[in-house]
Structure 1
Amino acid sequence: MFATWCLIVSISCLTSVIAKDVVHFDKWLDEQGISADSVDYETWKANLEYVEMHNRGGHSFTVTMNKFAHLTPKDLIKEVNIVRHQHTGDDHVVVDQVPPESVDWRTKGVVTPVRNEGKQESSHSFSAADAISSYIAINGGKLVEGSALEITDCCHYHPCSGRFVENAFKCVHDIGGLCAAAGYHREHECACNNATCTPFGTVNGSRMVPKDNEQALEIAVAQQPVQVFVDANNPSFMMYKSGVYYEPNCTTTRLDHSMLVVGYGKASTGEEYWIVKNSWGANWGMHGYIQMAKNKNNNCGIASQADYPY
């Protein structure tokens, strides 16, 4: 009798858990506007279990069942985006200066709105275009949303392959400047069509921040937003919600995603962070931004390959 009762209770509890997950799943589908037919439920459930476990773990950041919760990091971060460290510009000479304690270029009105790269899968084009827009605005020009699509079409080794450009800033100089996002249009898939738009500005090339040097990165960011490459191939990054992101499973060499550092600061708990603009839409992270751990041994490769236009 007792064994039978235990079995009945166990089945009842299991049924309750399954029902709860199904309700959560249906609600998530509705919120994200995604069809159940296009979702692997087991992947979604594994991510749900990860989110619940992580948020109970006392970490410096939280994660959430966002629009990517039905994917694995490998689904989202494509292998073709892996960046090998290379010299892509002039060395940045660190001068003897003390940068301010905190910087946020957004408060100066020189950072364009967060965008969503969607299926273009070319984060480098977005971070480069945004870096150029900020550089021009800081140096007396008007803040204009630069065309990431133009960089994708006109600067990639093989347009539409997803492979990053070797030096987007030098390429923009070579093609005569960058057009506004609203002014550049494709006529043919992955073919450069910038002859039909007028550039809003240009740059001379790029300068590199010394490899793995967060102090040098801080000095550079105090002057202007800086493009960085990071290891984003972790569920914690994919489903990041808020807080200071520190991921011990990150590498500093396997860099597969590009973003724009627009400042830095310190949390009330004392944790230092970089203010980083992503290109996954304003409904990801902190309104499209992530606070990445600063001065934590170059976590996720934030300073492994950083450069900026001049």
Structure 2
Amino acid sequence: MKAVILIIVLVAVVQATSLKDILKAEFNAFKLKHHKTYQDASEELKRLQIFVENKKLIDTHNKRYVAGEESYEMGVNKFSDMTPEEFKTLVLTNLNPADSQEGIDYIYNPSSYVNLPSSVDWRDWGAVNPVKIKDPVPPVGLSLQLAHSKVTKQYWIKISAVIQIASGNEAALASAVANKGPISVCVDASLFQYYQSGVLNEPSCSQSVDHCVVIDGYGTDSVGGDYWLVRNSWGENWGEKGYIRMARNRNNQCAIASYAIYPLV
């Protein structure tokens, strides 16, 4: 009996050592791919530990994804050596919903939503700019007005009016996307840190917004259901070549329809 216990312990030790080596190798590959350097050995050890915890979360989530229990897949990306708190502080922005009313000229609230196409993708019509590659750490304290820079009168683009979609109305948002073009929105992006592919459907997503993006279309996925096609600004090596598909028609998840605007040129 003691011999059996000893063998079990030895196997566990070998497996633990192998897992540690694998995680260290994955961390080294992560550093190389994303050009990560740290100020000293202590900081590198700290980042390794954070990476390992994030990798455990990712692997646990993806087991559920493979089992059909999740609508999207997580993955390692350039934010995988950050804690969720660091991600929120360094990558996302504190936005004030009250600012969304500044500079709004009209409210878009169509009386009918009939005859809307089942799917829209403005990339097919050449109406979409390439995904930007930018520093993932934006200036702090941007208002919603400034965050919607593509449609703000204060910028050099000459526009005649700023139109806001009826707040919280996903049907009105779909109508605007189908009939007006890409729409700027602000969302709760706290779950973007781990996103890799699929339809982000997380009922825990809040109505507090901290990041602004652009909706380039919408559609329906066989696994994830109705989605918004959302263009981010973190480069093509994040998400689905710079895009994320977010849950649509699920009670305004992540506040995606709360602060939607577009320019009248």
TM-score (norm 2): 0.84
In the alignment, structure 1 residue 227 sits paired with structure 2 residue 238: no
Superimposed CA distance per residue, residues 206-226 of structure 1 (whole angstroms, 9 cap, x where no aligned partner) = 111111110111011112111
| Distance in 2 of aligned mates of 1:249 and 1:270 | 16
Aligned to 2:122: 105
Are residues 51 and 251 of structure 1, via their aligned partners in 2, closer, same or farther at CA, if it must alter by over 3 Å?
A: same
1:250 to 205, 212, 215: 205
TM-score (norm 1): 0.72
| Distance in 1 of aligned mates of 2:123 and 2:175 | 17
SS in 2 for 1:29: helix
Q: CA deviation at 1:238?
A: 1.1
Superimposed CA distance per residue, residues 209-263 of structure 1 (whole angstroms, 9 cap, x where no aligned partner) = 11111011101111211111111112xx2121111111122112x1001000011
Q: CA deviation at 1:171?
A: 8.2
C-alpha contact (below 8 Å) 1:169/1:205 kept by paired residues: no
Aligned to 1:240: 195
Superimposed CA distance per residue, residues 13-72 of structure 1 (whole angstroms, 9 cap, x where no aligned partner) = 211211121122222222222125564111100110011111110311111111111112
| Distance in 2 of aligned mates of 1:248 and 1:286 | 21
My pick for the range that moved more, 97-106 or 213-222, is 97-106
Aligned to 1:131: none
Aligned to 1:173: 153
| Distance in 1 of aligned mates of 2:204 and 2:113 | 33
Aligned to 2:108: 92
SS in 1 for 2:12: helix
1:63 to 66, 70, 74: 74
Are residues 307 and 15 of structure 1, via their aligned partners in 2, closer, same or farther at CA, if it must alter by over 3 Å?
A: same
In the alignment, structure 1 residue 299 sits paired with structure 2 residue 253: yes
Aligned to 1:263: 217
| Distance in 2 of aligned mates of 1:32 and 1:280 | 13
| Distance in 1 of aligned mates of 2:200 and 2:176 | 21
SS in 2 for 1:77: helix
Q: How well do the aligned residues superpose, as a CA RMSD in angstroms?
A: 2.3
Aligned to 1:216: 172
Q: CA deviation at 1:161?
A: 4.2
Are residues 171 and 68 of structure 1, via their aligned partners in 2, closer, same or farther at CA, if it must alter by over 3 Å?
A: closer
Q: CA deviation at 1:169?
A: 6.4
Identity of aligned residues (%): 32
| Distance in 2 of aligned mates of 1:219 and 1:281 | 28
| Distance in 1 of aligned mates of 2:48 and 2:11 | 26
Q: Which runs of 5+ in 2 are unaligned?
A: none
Are residues 119 and 63 of structure 1, via their aligned partners in 2, closer, same or farther at CA, if it must alter by over 3 Å?
A: closer
C-alpha contact (below 8 Å) 2:151/2:261 kept by paired residues: no
Q: Which runs of 5+ in 1 are unaligned?
A: 122-159, 179-201
Are residues 45 and 246 of structure 1, via their aligned partners in 2, closer, same or farther at CA, if it must alter by over 3 Å?
A: same
Are residues 110 and 31 of structure 1, via their aligned partners in 2, closer, same or farther at CA, if it must alter by over 3 Å?
A: same
C-alpha contact (below 8 Å) 1:169/1:309 kept by paired residues: no
Q: CA deviation at 1:166?
A: 2.8
Supply the AA of the counterpart residue of 2:129.
T
C-alpha contact (below 8 Å) 2:80/2:194 kept by paired residues: yes
- Kindly tell me the number of residue pairs found equivalent between the two proteins: 245
SS in 1 for 2:60: helix
